[in-house]
Amino acid sequence: AQSVTQLDSHVSVSEGTPVLLRCNYSSSYSPSLFWYVQHPNKGLQLLLKYTSAATLVKGINGFEAEFKKSETSFHLTKPSAHMSDAAEYFCVVSDTGGKLIFGQGTELSVKP
Amino acid sequence: EAGVTQSPTHLIKTRGQQATLRCSPISGHTSVYWYQQALGLGLQFLLWYDEGEERNRGNFPPRFSGRQFPNYSSELNVNALELEDSALYLCASSLDPGVIYTGELFFGEGSRLTVL
């Protein structure tokens, strides 16, 4: 069965410092993995996706994620946080039947 | 180009009543998905419609049902409402019917259902 675990429910960083949001996955086959972002009172938006091509994936707004099979991880990073990055971030794995399995979410706060 | 639109934005019902939520996908998208985002439970897959047919449903009781119309818009019905049905209901659409290949769902802003 497919699952994802987001290791932190809340992360707080200062503006201009690096961001690290951690995600581990479990999959019975080669997974497709994604990160989505949800800003307050907005719909979810796809940040980036891994679908068995390059293991280092670049997304929108300067975010990246690295697929590490040996560690079953897909952590999201950004070199320098911006105030506008404050939002909830979801690590997601695809399942059969048109289904996406969402992690519990990590709320990112950015302090000035 | 218009995104995924959902109505109503907010809906308040009492236990035992029925709720109907509506979704219009992005033009050209034939697949529509419904997710429930309840406090403390995260996003849970509810239903997937493609070309007017229900293709898959999540682990929800039969009182959660829906349909997809010929214009690909969709409706989610929740019968015999219970307090725990209070949640944000998100609709999404995609070009890729199975979503497993691209993972790119385009989400609406949701309909918040409150059951009193």
Confidence (pLDDT) at A95: 84
Least CB-CB distance to A102: which of B42, B97, B106? Answer: B42
B107 with A49: Cβ contact below 8 A: no
Q: What percent of chain B has pLDDT over 90?
A: 81
- DSSP tag of B94: E
Distance CA B112, CA B28 (A): 26
From B96, which residue of chain A is nearest by alpha-carbon distance?
A: A98
Residues B71 and B25: beta-carbon distance below 8 Å: no
Q: pLDDT at residue A2 above 90?
A: no
Report the percent of chain B where pLDDT is more than 70: 94
Q: Which residue from A minimizes the CA distance to B46?
A: A99
Residue A105, pLDDT > 70, answer yes
Query: Dihedrals φ, ψ of A76, to 5°?
Result: -100, 135
Reported confidence tier of residue B20, pLDDT bands at 50, 70, 90: very high
Handedness of CA B4, B8, B13, B18 (dihedral sign): negative
What per-residue confidence (pLDDT) applies to A27? 86
Picking from B48, B103, B109, the nearest residue to A43 by CB comes out as B109
Highest mean pLDDT among A37-46, A48-57, B47-56: B47-56
Residues forming a β-bridge with B54: B49
Instruction: For residue B99, give how far its alpha carbon lies from the nearest alpha carbon of chain A (Å).
Output: 5
